[in-house]
Amino acid sequence: MDMVLQAIVAAMQPAVLAATTAGALVGLVVSAIPGLTFSLALILVMPFTFAMDPIPAIAMLLGVYSGGMTGGAVSAVLIGIPGTPSAAATVFDGYAMARKGEASVALGAAVIASAFGGVFSLVVMMMLLEPIAALAIRFGPAEIFALVLFGLSTICGLAERSLVRGLIAGVLGLMIMTIGLDEIDGVGRLTFGTVQLQQGVHMLVAMIGLFAVPQVIGTFAGHGRVKPEIVTEDVRGLLPWSRLHGYWGLMTRASVIGTVVGAVPGTGGPIASFLAYDHARRFSRNPDAYGTGEIGGVVAPEAANNAVMGGALIPMLSLGIPGDAATAIILGGLLIHGLQPGPLLFQSNLDVIYALYVTVIVSWFVILLVQVAGIRVFVKVLRVPAHLLAVCIMVLCAIGAYAARNSIFDVYAMAVFGLGGYLLQRARIPLAPVVLGLVLGPTLEQQYRTALILSEGSHRIFLESPVALVFFALTAAIIGWQIRSSLARGGTSAA
Amino acid sequence: MLAGPRRTRPTGAVLALVALLPVTAGAQYPQRAVEMTVLFGGSSATIAQVLADAMSKELGVPVAAVSRTGAGGAVGYSFVRSSPPNGYTIVWNSNSISTVFHSGNIDFDYRAFDPVARIGMEVPALAVRADSSWRTLREFAAAARQKRMRVGISGRGSFIHLVSAALFSRMGVDVVYVPYGQGTAPAELLGGRVDAALQWPNQFTGQVGAKQLRVLAVTSPARIPVLLEVPTAKEQGFDVDLVMWRGLAVPKGTPKEVIARIEGAARRVVASPRFKELSAKLGFEPAFLSAGEFGALVARDDAAIAALMTQLGLKKR
């Protein structure tokens, strides 16, 4: 108990509070800009932490992480472009809500769900660190492959009207991600002998292109003829608590998905948020409302992607194994301050660990406060005339695409993907499954091949793992369910 | 102290604009921000940030560590090679210049750059689970003759792969190399899916302290400070001398006085207690070499890597 009190005192020091607040603000702002992710924010902030004491330094990095996870939803809702890949699933219903004149409700719901997911995963981390770390280690390549395959089956739910078109879109997404040097053998694929293509397609760059460019083209193509679709609104009340009645169970389940997926090394926020989105739609009494501005389609992915944070910190702190790019950077920050993650950290530096827990909670308070104050300001974006907004979006997206890898090639790549996306839209091929393919493709391929290397080429490795079998069964169930409901609807949408 | 990112570092975008300005004489170098291209993420990127931060103070202009990762370093090397040779674009390089060239992914080699200085070294280490019965390389080799072992490494054709291939061929055993991305090999070792893993020492230190993993050997000619109790492969009778050097290089044709200026700054940074302290925490071993000595090392290493890759059938060029 003494330790806990000391930790609270340590985390409430002015320097620590200032560091947490600054970190959360930087994370929020940077990740609200499409293309600038919290990983970039972490790299930018890192040199400032070198000279700090350990607790404020780590507090700042964690503040950036939690702020960054929530910031991505702001642009997802307001302009229909995810600020970070983890917010991609938030676009579908968040942007639809904004177009129905409910932008502030969507943003409010997103921030409540984010804080809920973040604090939920933190509590799980505090209570169940060791069992979850032990569970995470049991996920080897075969199990991760099965999990990701299950994620891919959610394509059924994203395919909108035609399953065939949905599958075409999904395969396109998978194919795009095979460009470049493959992760296992370092062999170039579809590179046409150029070094630029060897680095492959950056997931975020393709995503910005697909979400932003068709929208911008649409704005200009319809300029002067189409009435502005977006309804401006008056913001009433601070946060839409009443609208969330009946969604707390969903948020809890989405947070569980996020925490578990986050704890498995090699997965991460984008996968978790798509799984949570699909879960919400599938278990909704009104699945057809999803995609047209259903609040459940905002709270589920947002709770999940923020829960990923606590999940990802579990193997990072207890085993020293970073689960994704962001935790890898935070790991560097811990090492710099002489904190070696691993089982011993919990014996030798328990004070620091407790202080970190308190810090994360403080950062959520800061984020809530900022977002509540900010929503009124953010929604003013919607009053900007569509054609002017489109120009700003284009500029921001070009900067974001450049910043992804400091490469001008990515700006051109974004434009190419955007044009491709526009053509697909015209051909009535949905873009959401393309995005799902982008998110899942690399992990799916890499884990499948690694599993086969482990088993020296035998597919039995997939059948010998109970965990993998459970996910295969779930995948089969979802596909069967989809086929049955297609047939029941009279076969119009069946493959 | 109050902490806050009030001072923003120049980003790649700003630097790209700056790079378009006319070249100034080497004598006045440096007059504007210097960009240090970083080729990989993970602990090497953190060390690069520490180095860049300290170099800024030495040179009196911002030195920004800009990450251009991907394609095993091919992207970053290509970028720096095609930048003007004026000292404002430098690369945080490593043996990867040899592995990426010999695997056929770029069409230029180390000779496209002028060496500036070696900053330090990282030494691969081979670990097994602490509950296994192997305490030496010989015991592991004996067991590996009974049963084909699985060894977790980084991507095929990476330096880690080359080192493990050299080590196991000296030990006379045939193993299955399982390539893992994102530094997950230690987790796979803990999870029991591989029998051993060859990685950087700081990926193991937490688990070694907690007595869950045991390091059998390091591949350097002498023991390393972070794992002093671990014998080298050479001590155990297997002649392997492979370490990852990390240093700074500039595009070919950069003026001599500019190189000397960067070299001097790097020398003072590496000698500073602060850099030594942070390096130790990150599992990095500072080891300065001047431009001339560094150039000789790079050339020697390139020949050794080429020979090794030919032997392994990985050489494409």
What's the ipTM?
Answer: 0.82
Cβ–Cβ gap A195/B71 under 8 Å = yes
Structural domain contains residue A196: yes
Candidate from A47, A184, A406 with C-beta closest to B156:
A184
Q: What is the dihedral of CA A90, A94, A96, A98, to 10 degrees?
A: -150
Cβ–Cβ gap A195/B74 under 8 Å = yes
Candidate from B66, B183, B282 with C-beta closest to A406:
B66
Q: Look at residue B264 in the predicted model and tell me its pLDDT.
A: 93
Q: Look at residue A39 in the predicted model and tell me its pLDDT.
A: 82
Candidate from B2, B42, B49 with C-beta closest to A15:
B2
Q: What is the pLDDT of residues A212-267, one digit of tens each?
A: 899 888 888 876 555 555 555 555 556 778 888 889 999 999 999 999 999 888 78
Q: Look at residue B12 in the predicted model and tell me its pLDDT.
A: 53
Structural domain contains residue A494: no
Write out chain B residues lying below 8 Å of A43, CB-based.
45, 49, 67
Write out chain B residues lying below 8 Å of A265, CB-based.
182, 184, 187
CA B84 to chain A, closest CA, distance in angstroms equals 17
- Single-letter code of the amino acid located at A172: L
- When the pLDDT of each residue in chain B is averaged and rounded to a whole number, the result is 86
CB A107 within 8 A of CB A380: no
Q: Are strands B89-94 and B34-38 parallel, antiparallel or unpaired?
A: parallel
Structural domain contains residue A493: no
Per-residue pLDDT band for A348 (boundaries 50, 70, 90) equals confident
Assigned token pair, B177: 């190399």
Task: Name the residue in chain B with its Cα closest to that of A461.
Answer: B193
Q: What are phi and psi of A416, to 5 degrees?
A: -65, -45
Q: What are phi and psi of A334, to 5 degrees?
A: -65, -45
Instruction: Say whether pLDDT at B241 is over 50.
Output: yes
Candidate from A56, A335, A453 with C-beta closest to B176:
A453
Cβ–Cβ gap B282/A336 under 8 Å = yes
Q: Look at residue B6 in the predicted model and tell me its pLDDT.
A: 43
**What are chain B's domains?**
32-121+244-312 (3.40.190.150), 125-227 (3.40.190.10)
Q: What are phi and psi of B42, to 5 degrees?
A: 75, -155
Cβ–Cβ gap A22/B187 under 8 Å = no
Residue that wins the pLDDT comparison between A406 and B84: B84
Average pLDDT over residues B292-306: 92
CA distance A480 to A282: 13
Q: What is the pLDDT of residues B30-81, one digit of tens each?
A: 888 999 999 887 778 889 999 999 999 999 999 988 888 777 788 889 889 9
- Highest averaged pLDDT of the listed ranges A210-214, A286-290, B179-183: A210-214
- Report the sign of the C-alpha dihedral through residues B97, B99, B103, B109, in that order: positive
Per-residue pLDDT band for A381 (boundaries 50, 70, 90) equals confident
Instruction: Say whether pLDDT at B2 is over 50.
Output: no
- When the pLDDT of each residue in chain A is averaged and rounded to a whole number, the result is 86
SS3 state of residue A351:
helix
Average pLDDT over residues A305-323: 87
Cβ–Cβ gap B186/A181 under 8 Å = no
- Cβ neighbours for A288, distance < 8 A, ≥ 6 positions apart: none
Write out chain B residues lying below 8 Å of A330, CB-based.
none
Q: Look at residue A226 in the predicted model and tell me its pLDDT.
A: 52
Average pLDDT over residues A104-124: 92
Write out the residue range of the structural domain in which residue A172 sits: 2-488
CA A383 to chain B, closest CA, distance in angstroms equals 30
Q: What is the dihedral of CA B207, B188, A61, A354, to 10 degrees?
A: -50
Structural domain contains residue A356: yes
Instruction: Say whether pLDDT at B234 is over 70.
Output: yes
Lowest pLDDT segment from A196-210, A296-310, A318-332, B244-258: A318-332
Q: Are strands B125-129 and B176-179 parallel, antiparallel or unpaired?
A: unpaired
Average pLDDT over residues A140-150: 92
Average pLDDT over residues B196-213: 88
- Highest averaged pLDDT of the listed ranges A121-130, A285-294, A382-391, B261-270: B261-270
Residue that wins the pLDDT comparison between A418 and A320: A418
Candidate from A18, A137, A453 with C-beta closest to B4:
A18
CA B136 to chain A, closest CA, distance in angstroms equals 24
CA distances from A284 to A100, A281, A300, B44, B296 (A): 20, 5, 11, 47, 67
Write out chain A residues lying below 8 Å of B50, CB-based.
50, 336
Q: Are strands B113-122 and B125-129 parallel, antiparallel or unpaired?
A: unpaired
Closest CA to A339 of A327, A325, A357, A353: A353
Percent of chain A at pLDDT exceeding 90: 33
Cβ–Cβ gap B191/A140 under 8 Å = yes
How many CA atoms does the CB half-sphere of A56 hold within 13 Å? 20
Q: What is the pLDDT of residues B110-122, one digit of tens each?
A: 999 999 999 999 9
Domain count, chain A: 1
Candidate from A49, A138, A325 with C-beta closest to B41:
A325
Q: Look at residue B8 in the predicted model and tell me its pLDDT.
A: 44
Assigned token pair, B128: 């097994």
A:B CB pairs within 8 Å: 196
DSSP state of B232: B
- Best of B53, B184, B190, B309 to disrupt the A interface (most A CBs within 10 Å) is B184
Q: What is the pLDDT of residues A1-42, one digit of tens each?
A: 677 788 888 888 888 999 999 999 999 888 888 878 888 888
